[in-house]
Structure 1
Amino acid sequence: MKIIGENLSPPARIAIIGAAVVIVLAGARAATPILGPLLVAVFFAMITAPVMAWLTRRGVPQILAAVIVVAGLIGIFAGVIAFLGVALTGFVRSLPRYQAALEAQAAALAGYGIDLGNFTVWDYIDQGFVIQQIAGIAQQIGGLAVDAFLVFVGIGFLLIEAPRLSATLKRHLGAESALYQHLSQSGRLLIDYVVVRTKVNLITGAGTGIFLALLGIDFAILWGFIAFVLSYVPYIGLVVAAIPPTLLAFIEFGPVGALAVIIAIALIDAAAENLVLPRMAGQELNLSPFVVLFSVVFWGLILGTVGVFLAIPLTIAVKLFLDSWEETRWIGELMSAGKGE
């Protein structure tokens, strides 16, 4: 008995596959409240997998090792929340001082023929909108707490279940089967990328924070941390992270200080992305710049904020999936940067 799909013309098969993909993506978008915490849990499980392996190799029981890893993540999360609360509170309290400094800079520029007029920060900020957003965030704290709880529980279960799942796949598929070997290799490559990406972001964030501290920019650690987090969003993230310290440098040191911050952050990012990342990650997972930028927009539309931050790991997973089949391997090749060809 012939399969119905074999009698279809290539355009018809492409249309059917395209329709199926659209349906799956629509379902993923509708299930974002569930998929978001799950993907975040998978992401952090990948990052902490080396720590889990290190603990188990030293004789720590598997469940206890998972508890230690999750407890460490909770401690880090609580510390980050406390740090952000203190830093942002201090920043808001400093706004009047920055307003006075900005007026002084405007007066200095007026001496060179550059008139900013009666510039006040609050003229360009809708205070009602800010208050509304703060109230909305306060209302969402309960929901965020529930999501955080689900994420931490998910991380623990993933760390505990990973060896069993791998053993089950190995037993049923066969250690020598092409499918099992490809799945194992793809999983390792994806985990390696996530870990390497985090290390590179640490270099970018630490370098940015240290430079800003040496320059004397207020809240340098806060801007370095934001640079670390937003560096998960390629191209766009660090540009957004550079805006607040650049404005502060202009307010405190004038145009020269702002230019110095822009140049320094650009050099730090270029060194991390073009020198450190290729050496640590290799070329196995290279993606074309267009695919990288498109993936941020695409996954952001599908999964929201989670999709923006996890765009590259998700795209790499799709590419590895496409590379698994002869019929779709050409699509994976189109997604590659084509280095070395």
Structure 2
Amino acid sequence: MNLAGNLSPPARIAIIGAAIVIVLAGVRAATPIFGPLLVAVFFAMITAPVMVWLTRRGVPPVLAAGTVVAGLIGLFVGVIIFLGAALAGFIRSLPQYRESLEAQAAVLADYGIDFAGIRIWDYVDQGFLIQQAAGIARQIGGTAVDAFLIFVGIGFLLIEAPRLAAALARYLGPDSSPYRHLSQSGRLLINYVVVRTKVNLVTGVGTGLFLTLLGVDFAVLWGFIAFVLSYVPYIGLVAAAIPPTLLALIEFGPAGAVAVIVAVALIDAAAENLVLPRMAGRELNLSPFVVLFSVVFWGFILGAVGVFLAIPLTIAVKLFLESWEETRWIGELMGSGDRRE
């Protein structure tokens, strides 16, 4: 008896929707498990070209994977040391920034802009920031186990990738439509992640260089934050531009703040429209609403990991939906509608 065939379309939609809600609720409850796994998959995708480059030059897969993981660990430790030193320097400079901010407020008051009722510097409290830094340090210590699992997962994923691909080809058939579509989708997704990282690198380096030339303190730190937060579409770069804009306001006045805003906008526009290859927009297009909604949705499901990986996860869902004739129309609705053949 074919129960599914006897159900009306609304009933099937309701059952499928309920199943999706149950699965997403389970994923949200298991975020402590899925979060590190997704981060490991993300970094494995980014470093896959390095792994391929090493193995093609005769390096054994285990040694190649170990080299990649060791490089990531070294980079991670270097970033932690850099952020700690930058944060300590920023906290030491707070009294100086407070004096400069008071002077800037006095200048703006002469033009009728009075901050007396707001007193921004009351929120720039050294003790508060030290408490927050201590809390972050405790969180970093608490995530040491997650970091270990992530690095181990990256190594295993890099080693197992060729075997998994061969197994899929063997069971699905190398000439079968599902295998061809899965292989193409995987390559497109990996390519997007790598390209997105390159674009973010241009944005971060460009921002850091401009701030250095302008003379804004901790320019390298703000460039690094711009690189990381650029993975969050629309919102990330805006959030990354706030601290250097405020510092430019304190150090150079309103003209400096405007210069930072304009420069960051121009750098981002150049990176998105000139550096980002046409392939990414043509093959993996997403509508602006879907992009914004995906950040909110995956952030709600997976927290901070979901916010940073919202676009790759949404692209994976879109490619999955386009794999089946029954759901292809949903994947097409998620697109921007400007696909060019």
TM-score of the two chains, using structure 1 as the length reference: 0.96
1:277 is displaced (CA, Å) by 1.4
2:36 paired with 1:40 = no
1:18 is displaced (CA, Å) by 0.1
Q: Which residue of 2 aligns with 1:54?
A: 53
Q: Which residue of 2 aligns with 1:87?
A: 86
1:107 is displaced (CA, Å) by 1.8
**Runs of 4 or more consecutive aligned structure 1 residues displaced over 3 Å after TM superposition:** 118-122, 125-136
State the AA in 2 paired with 1:257. G
Q: Equivalents in 2 of 1:270, 1:131: separation in Å? A: 36
Q: Equivalents in 2 of 1:33, 1:330: separation in Å? A: 33
1:130 is displaced (CA, Å) by 4.8
SS across alignment from 1:327: coil
2:315 paired with 1:298 = no
Q: Which residue of 2 aligns with 1:255?
A: 254
1:103 is displaced (CA, Å) by 1.2
Q: Deviations over 1:50-99 (max 9, x none)?
A: 00000000000000000000000000001001000001110111011011
SS across alignment from 1:283: helix
Q: Equivalents in 1 of 2:254, 2:132: separation in Å? A: 31
What are the within-5 Å matches in structure 2 for residues 1-20 of structure 1? 2-20=1-19
CA contact (8 A) 1:99 1:121 kept: no
1:137 is displaced (CA, Å) by 2.8
Q: Deviations over 1:297-330 (max 9, x none)?
A: 0000000000000000000000000000000000
CA contact (8 A) 1:196 1:280 kept: no
Total equivalences in the alignment? 340
TM-score of the two chains, using structure 2 as the length reference: 0.96
Q: Which residue of 1 aligns with 2:104?
A: 105
What are the within-5 Å matches in structure 2 for residues 140-219 of structure 1? 140-219=139-218
Identity of aligned residues (%): 80
Q: Deviations over 1:214-249 (max 9, x none)?
A: 111100000000000000000000000000000011
1:270 is displaced (CA, Å) by 1.1
Q: Equivalents in 2 of 1:265, 1:302: separation in Å? A: 30
What are the within-5 Å matches in structure 2 for residues 66-85 of structure 1? 66-85=65-84
SS across alignment from 2:282: coil
1:135 is displaced (CA, Å) by 4.2
List alignment gaps of at least 5 residues for structure 2: none
Q: Equivalents in 1 of 2:168, 2:298: separation in Å? A: 29
SS across alignment from 2:283: coil
Q: Which residue of 2 aligns with 1:333?
A: 332
Q: Equivalents in 2 of 1:292, 1:144: separation in Å? A: 29
1:273 is displaced (CA, Å) by 1.4
CA contact (8 A) 1:99 1:120 kept: no
List alignment gaps of at least 5 residues for structure 1: none
1:282–1:140 Cα change, 3 Å: closer
Q: Equivalents in 2 of 1:148, 1:105: separation in Å? A: 43
Q: Which residue of 1 aligns with 2:271?
A: 272
Q: Which residue of 2 aligns with 1:65?
A: 64
CA contact (8 A) 1:103 1:119 kept: no
Q: Deviations over 1:189-228 (max 9, x none)?
A: 0000000000000000000000111111100000000000
